[in-house]
A and B are shown apart, each in its own frame.
Chain A
Amino acid sequence: MLETAPSTDAYLMLSGTLFAVGLIGVVIRRNMITVLMAIELMLNAVNINLVAFSHRLGSLEGQVFTIFVITVAAGEAAVGLAIIIQLYRLKSTINVDEARMLNG
């Protein structure tokens, strides 16, 4: 590891906080687009974790997995946006609270 690089612990704290911000964002935000962004935040927290560990362990596996996570996140965003557009077409809103035809 480079002398100047922060320790893995610092990365873990950063990623843990990012993950928590994302999780809280999903729970408290009502706008679907914001929820989608919060989910991306959670996935990127995972990426930070993986790259930090990969750097510390000197194994490339984590970085390769990160690439896969990034692409899957893109696919997820695409599917999510498509569902949001369809919901907007039907209901003219993307507020998650308005989606309550199913009593859950």
Chain B
Amino acid sequence: MANYSVLLVAALIVLSVPVLTLFIITPLIRASRANKVKLEPYECGVPASSLAFDHRFSVRYFLIAVLFIVFDVETVFLFPWAIRFKQLGLFGAVEMAVFLAILLIGYFYAWKRKVLSWV
């Protein structure tokens, strides 16, 4: 049998760090000097136009955001291919074309479902 006690100790140490910092040490030593500017919602440094919770955003923002997340991150696969473009040759190019075609299917679907048009 492996020595499980070491595991337990490791788990306890790892768990204790966030517990200590989030709930015990920080409330004791942090300075709490709240003022109006500090509590304002952050809007890129310019004075906030409204409070965060009384301003509704259209749900379309979220749809665009969701699409953005997916398509944005998928491009990460292009980087390894781009770095080894010459070595991968035609085969790599064809593979990447297939990959992009799959993404385009998703894009085409979103487009035809009128997710991209602003009503």
Contact = CB atoms under 8 A, between A and B. Distances in A.
A/B contact in complex, CB under 8 angstroms: yes
Interface of A: 13, 16-17, 19-21, 24, 64, 67, 70-71, 73-75, 77-78, 81-82, 85, 89
A21 B76 contact: no
A67 B15 contact: no
B17 A85 contact: no
Given A20-B14, A21-B18, A24-B18, A78 B74 contact: no
A13 B16 CA distance: 12
B65 interface: yes
Interface string B49-69: 000000000010010011101
A24 B74 CA distance: 29
5 contacts: A13-B14, A24-B19, A67-B77, A70-B73, A78-B70
A20 B18 contact: yes
| 10 smallest beta-carbon distances between A and B, as pairs | A74-B73, A16-B14, A21-B18, A78-B66, A17-B17, A20-B18, A74-B69, A20-B15, A78-B70, A20-B14
B70 A67 contact: no
Nearest to B65: A81
Contacts of B22: 21, 24
Contacts, number: 48
B14 A19 contact: yes
A73 B70 CA distance: 9
B14 A74 contact: no
Contact of A71 (B62, B65, B77, B80): B77
B25 to A, nearest CB: 14
A71 B19 CA distance: 30
A67 to B, nearest CB: 5
